[in-house]
Structure 1
Amino acid sequence: MKPAKYDLTKAPITGLLISMTLPMIFGMLGIVAFNIVDTYYVSRLGLVPMAAMTLTFPVVMIIGALAQGIGIGAAALISKSVGEKKQDKIVRYTTDSLILGLILVFVFVVLGLMTMKPLFTALGADSETLPFVIDYMKIWYPGVMFLIIPMIGNSGIRAIGDTKTPAIIMAVAALFNMIFDPLLIFGYGPFPEMGIQGAALATVISRAITMIVALYVLIYRQKIVSLKNIHFRAIVASFKDLLYIGIPNALTRIMTPLAIGVITSLIATYGKEATAGFGIATRIEMFAMLVINALTSIYVPLLGQNLGAKKHDRVLEIIRKSEIFSILYGLLTVIFFIFLGSQLGKLFTDNLKVIETVKVYLYVIPIGYGIQGLFLIYTSTLNVFNKPMHSAILSIVRLFVIYVPLSLLLSNYLGLLGIWISLNLSFFLVAIASKYLIKKQMKHLL
C-alpha cells in the first residue's frame, strides 16, 4: 500500500466530500438495514421479545463504543501519519489498535457474561422480558470479537483515504444478516426455529464473515497490519498515543449507552408499548442519520491528512463546508418526516400505542438532526486537533448535565414528549459551546 494512492491533500474539498461520503452512505445503509431487519423479524415474534431486544441496546452500544473509541484514536493518528507520509507509523498504529481493542473488549465481555441478570434487571427488564434478554445476550456476547475487528479495522482503512472497502465490508454484513435472520428465527428447511436466539446467532455469523474479509484486506491487500519487528517499547508508545485519544472517546461512547439506559428505563415506566415504540423509532432514525454519520466517518481522515500535511487553509474549508452540509441535510429530514413520520410505525406493528410513540418521536427529534451533525463535526475536529478531553467533556456534559436531568424533569410535565424535547435541547446547547472551543483551538493550531 502506498499512502499517496489515497492522498486527500490536493483534490478539491467539495469533490472529496462527495466522493468519499457516497460509498460510506451505502455502507452505513447496510448497517442500518442490518438493524432494521433484526427489528422487523423480532417484532414478528411479539411485543415482549421486541421490548427485550430494545433493552439490550445500551449494552450492545457499550461494546461497540469500546471499538469505536480505539478506532477514532487510530483514525486520527493514522490519517495524520499519511499526511506526514510516515508508512511505519501507519502500520504500527493500525496493528496496535486491533490488539488493544481485543484486550479491552475481552475484559468487558467476561464481565458482561457474569452480570447479565442484575444488569438487565436494573435496565428495566421484568419477569417477562428478562428470559428473552438472556437468551439473546448469551449468544451475542461470545461473538463480540467478530464485531470489534472489522470496526477498528475499517477505521484504519478509512484513515488512509479508502472509503469504498469499509462500505463493502458493512454491506456484506447486512446481506448475510438478511439471509440468516429469517432462517434462524423462524426455522426454514434444515434450520431450527430459534426465536430471539436466532436473531443473535444470525448477527454473530454475519459478523464472523466480515471479520474474515476485513482481516484479508488489512493484512494482504492494504498491508497495514504486521506483527514483524515488534518491540515492547514501540508497542507501549503506540498504546499510549492510541489511548490518549481512544480512552476519552471510548468513555464518551460508553456514557452514551449508559445515558440511553437511564432514558430507556424511564421510557419503560410508560409501558411495553412505549419501550417497543422507542426501539422502532430509533431504528428508523438510523436511516435518517446515516448521511450525517457517513460524513463524520470520512471527516477525520480528510481533516487529519490535511492537518498532517500542514495545509491549514484546506482544514478551515473542510470544517466550513461540512457545517453547511449538516444544516442543509437536517432541514431536508425535517420536511421528510413531516409528511411520512405518521406512517412509518405501521411498517413494524399494528399496535396503536406503539405507532403513536413512533409518530411523535419522528415529528420532534428530526428538528435537531442538523445540530446533531454540527456537534459530531466539532467533536471530531477536537479529536484530530489532539484535544480528546475537550470532546469527551462536551459529550458527557450533554448527556448527564443536560439530557438526563432535563428528561427526568420535563417528563413529569410532558410525558414522553418531554424526553424528546430534552434530547434536542441538549444538542443545541453543546453545539454552541463546541463551536466556541473550535474557534479557540484554530487560533492556536492553525
Structure 2
Amino acid sequence: MKDKHGLLSAPVSQVMTKMAVPMAYGLLAVLGFSLVDTYFVSLLGTQALAAISFTFPVTFFVSALAMGIGTGLSACLARLLGQGLHQDAARLTSDGLLLALTLVLSVAAIGISSIQPLFKLLGASDSLIVYIQDYMFYWYVAIPFLVIPMVGNAAIRATGDTKTPSRVMIIAGFMNGILDPLLIFGIGPFPELGVKGAAIASGLSWLITFAVALYLLRYREQLLLLSKPKLTDMLRNWRKIAVIGMPASLTNMLSPVNNAFVMWQLAAFSTTAVAAYGAGTRIEAIFLVGMIAVSSMLSPFIAQNSSANNPQRCLTAIKLAIRYSLISQLTIYLVIALTAPYIATLFSDDVEVISHLSLYLYIIPASFAMQGVMMAIASSLNGFNRPIAALSLSLSRSLLIISLSSIGGYYYGENGIFCGIASANVLVGLLALYYAQKLQIELQRKLQFEVVSTTETQSRSK
C-alpha cells in the first residue's frame, strides 16, 4: 500500500502534474455548475435570487469548516502514509469522518432551529424569509452528504489520487445541472418545487459523492474502519486534525470577510462599482483555478515526503510551485490585459459597469502571480505541520487588503481600492517568499546533515 500513487518515488514534476490537472478540472466543474445553479434560480425572479444570495454566508461557513477538517485530515493522513503506518492512517481517517459528522449534525440542528432569527439578523425581509426557509431547511437536511464527501475526498487526495475525486465532482455537477430545472420548474413527472427544488437537487447530487467516497475509502483505499474507536484514541486524532484544521477553516473564512469589506467601501461610491467587483471576483476564481489546484496538492505531497525524510523532494516541489505561479499567472495577466474590455462586456451591458470591471481586470490580476506564491507557501506550511504560520500569511493579506484598500479609496476612489487590493497581494507574496527562503535554508541544512551522516556511516563500515 505504501507509495501507491508515487508521491515518494516518481519524478516530482510528473507527480505534481498528475495530481494538479485532474483537481483543476474538478474545480472548474464546481465553479461552472455553481453558475448554472444560480442561473436557474434567477429565472424564478429577483426575490428568489436575493434570498439565495442571503444564504451564502451560512453555506460558505459550513463549507469552510468542512474544507478545514479536510485540510487537517489530509496533512495528518499523508504523514502517516509517508511513514508506512497504514493501520494508523485508517483509524485517523475513520475518526476524522466521525468528527466531521458530529460537527455537521450539530450545525444542522442549530441551523434548522434558527433560520428565521438568523436571517432576520442578517437583514432579510419577511418576504425573503419565506424563500430562505424553503431553501435552508432542505439544505441543512442534506449537508451530511456535502461535508462527508468533502472530507473523504481530502483523505483520498492524501494518498496521491486526485483523479477520482475530480471525476466524482464532475459527475455530481452534471447531475445537479440536470436535476435543477426538473425540480425547480416541475418539468415532466417532477413536482414544481421552486427554490426548495434547488436545495433538493444539490442534496441528491451530493448523495452520489457521499456513496462513492465511502465506497472508495472502505474497499479500495482500505482507510475506513467500522470497528468502534477507543475514546482516548479518537480524541487524540481529533486534536491532531484540529491543530491544522481549525486554522485552515479560519483561513477559508477570511476571503468572504475581505470581500464584504471591499463591497462596503465600493457601495459608498456607486452600485456599478459593486457590480463590477462582484463580477470580477467570479472571473478571478476561474483564472486562479490552476494555482488553487497546485497549492491544494502541495500539502499532502510535502506531508508524505517530509515524514518519509525526503527533504530534496519537498524543496523541489516548492520551487516548482513558485515557478509555476510566476510564469502561468503573468502569462494569464498578459492575456487579460489585452482582452479586458471584451471580457467585461460578457458580464454586463452597462457602460459604467464595463468601465469599472475593465479597470479591475487591468489592475488586480497583475498581482495574481504573487497571490499564487502566497497560496503555495501557505499550503506547504500546512504540509510541514505549521498551520499557525500558514494562517499568519492569510491574516496578513486580510489586514493589508483592509488597510491599503481603505487608504487607496480615500485618496483615489474606486481605482484606489483596486490598487490597494493588488498591493496587498504583492506584499503578502513577498512575505511568502521570505517564508520560502527560510524553508529552503532549513531543508538544505537537513540535506547536508544527511550527507555528513551517510559519509560517517560509510567510513565506519570500512
Q: TM-score normalized by structure 1?
A: 0.89
1:432 correspondence with 2:447: no
Name the aligned partner's letter for residue 432 of structure 1. Answer: L
**Pair 1:412–1:142, CA change in 2 (3 A):** farther
**Pair 1:343–1:409, CA change in 2 (3 A):** same
Q: Distance in 1 between matches of 2:9 and 2:121?
A: 52
Q: What's the counterpart of residue 380 of structure 1?
A: 379
Name the aligned partner's letter for residue 31 of structure 1. Answer: V
Name the aligned partner's letter for residue 161 of structure 2. Answer: D
Q: What's the counterpart of residue 422 of structure 1?
A: 420
Q: Is the 8 A contact 1:35 1:283 kept in 2?
A: no
Aligned ranges 1:10-29 → 2 under 5 Å: 10-29=9-28
**Pair 1:64–1:419, CA change in 2 (3 A):** farther
**CA distances 1:280-322 after superposition (whole Å, capped 9, x unpaired):** 4333332212111111121122222211111111111110011
Residue 370 of structure 1 deviates from its aligned partner by 1.6
Name the aligned partner's letter for residue 322 of structure 1. Answer: A
Q: Pick from 395, 409, 424 the counterpart of residue 411 of structure 1.
A: 409
Q: Distance in 2 between matches of 1:138 and 1:413?
A: 45
Unmatched 5+ stretches in structure 2: 447-462
Structure number with bigger Rg = 2
**Pair 1:428–1:55, CA change in 2 (3 A):** farther
Q: What's the counterpart of residue 287 of structure 1?
A: 286
Name the aligned partner's letter for residue 105 of structure 1. Answer: V
**Pair 1:193–1:277, CA change in 2 (3 A):** farther
Q: What's the counterpart of residue 155 of structure 2?
A: 156
Q: Pick from 380, 400, 403 the counterpart of residue 402 of structure 1.
A: 400
Name the aligned partner's letter for residue 203 of structure 2. Answer: V
Percent of pairs identical after alignment? 36
Stretch of structure 1 that moved more, 64-73 or 358-367: 358-367
Residue 160 of structure 1 deviates from its aligned partner by 0.6
- Please state whether the residue corresponding to 2:313 is helix, strand or coil: helix
Residue 131 of structure 1 deviates from its aligned partner by 5.4
Q: What's the counterpart of residue 171 of structure 1?
A: 170
Name the aligned partner's letter for residue 420 of structure 1. Answer: F
Q: What's the counterpart of residue 362 of structure 2?
A: 363
**CA distances 1:102-122 after superposition (whole Å, capped 9, x unpaired):** 222333344444554565566
Name the aligned partner's letter for residue 243 of structure 2. Answer: Y
Q: Distance in 2 between matches of 1:362 and 1:52?
A: 29
**Pair 1:42–1:51, CA change in 2 (3 A):** same
**Pair 1:361–1:38, CA change in 2 (3 A):** farther
Name the aligned partner's letter for residue 387 of structure 1. Answer: R
Residue 269 of structure 1 deviates from its aligned partner by 5.4
Q: What's the counterpart of residue 454 of structure 2?
A: none
Q: Is the 8 A contact 1:96 1:239 kept in 2?
A: yes
Stretch of structure 1 that moved more, 271-280 or 181-190: 271-280
Aligned ranges 1:284-363 → 2 under 5 Å: 284-344=283-343, 346-347=345-346, 350=349, 355-363=354-362
Stretch of structure 1 that moved more, 318-327 or 342-351: 342-351
Q: Is the 8 A contact 1:98 1:153 kept in 2?
A: yes
Q: Distance in 2 between matches of 1:282 and 1:50?
A: 18
Residue 88 of structure 1 deviates from its aligned partner by 1.4
Residue 412 of structure 1 deviates from its aligned partner by 4.1
**Pair 1:134–1:167, CA change in 2 (3 A):** same
Q: CA RMSD in A?
A: 2.8
Q: Distance in 1 between matches of 2:52 and 2:357?
A: 17
Unmatched 5+ stretches in structure 1: none
Stretch of structure 1 that moved more, 85-94 or 354-363: 354-363
Q: Distance in 2 between matches of 1:275 and 1:138?
A: 30
Count of aligned residue pairs for this structure pair: 444
- Please state whether the residue corresponding to 1:3 is helix, strand or coil: coil
- Please state whether the residue corresponding to 2:225 is helix, strand or coil: coil
Aligned ranges 1:123-162 → 2 under 5 Å: 125=124, 132-162=131-161
**CA distances 1:324-366 after superposition (whole Å, capped 9, x unpaired):** 0011111122123234443445545555555555444333332
Name the aligned partner's letter for residue 404 of structure 2. Answer: L
Name the aligned partner's letter for residue 421 of structure 1. Answer: C
Q: What's the counterpart of residue 184 of structure 1?
A: 183
Stretch of structure 1 that moved more, 90-99 or 435-444: 435-444
**Pair 1:420–1:267, CA change in 2 (3 A):** same
Stretch of structure 1 that moved more, 135-144 or 64-73: 135-144
Q: Distance in 2 between matches of 1:99 and 1:433?
A: 37
Q: What's the counterpart of residue 245 of structure 2?
A: 246
1:66 correspondence with 2:65: yes
Q: What's the counterpart of residue 212 of structure 1?
A: 211
**Pair 1:99–1:351, CA change in 2 (3 A):** farther
Stretch of structure 1 that moved more, 45-54 or 287-296: 45-54
Q: Distance in 2 between matches of 1:212 and 1:363?
A: 44
Q: Distance in 2 between matches of 1:375 and 1:348?
A: 29
Q: Is the 8 A contact 1:62 1:254 kept in 2?
A: yes
Aligned ranges 1:201-240 → 2 under 5 Å: 201-228=200-227, 230-240=229-239
Q: Distance in 2 between matches of 1:265 and 1:75?
A: 36
Residue 375 of structure 1 deviates from its aligned partner by 0.7
Q: Is the 8 A contact 1:59 1:257 kept in 2?
A: no
Higher RCO (C-alpha under 8 Å, 6+ residues apart): 1
Q: Is the 8 A contact 1:34 1:173 kept in 2?
A: no
**CA distances 1:29-70 after superposition (whole Å, capped 9, x unpaired):** 211112121233334445554454444333322111111111
Residue 396 of structure 1 deviates from its aligned partner by 1.8
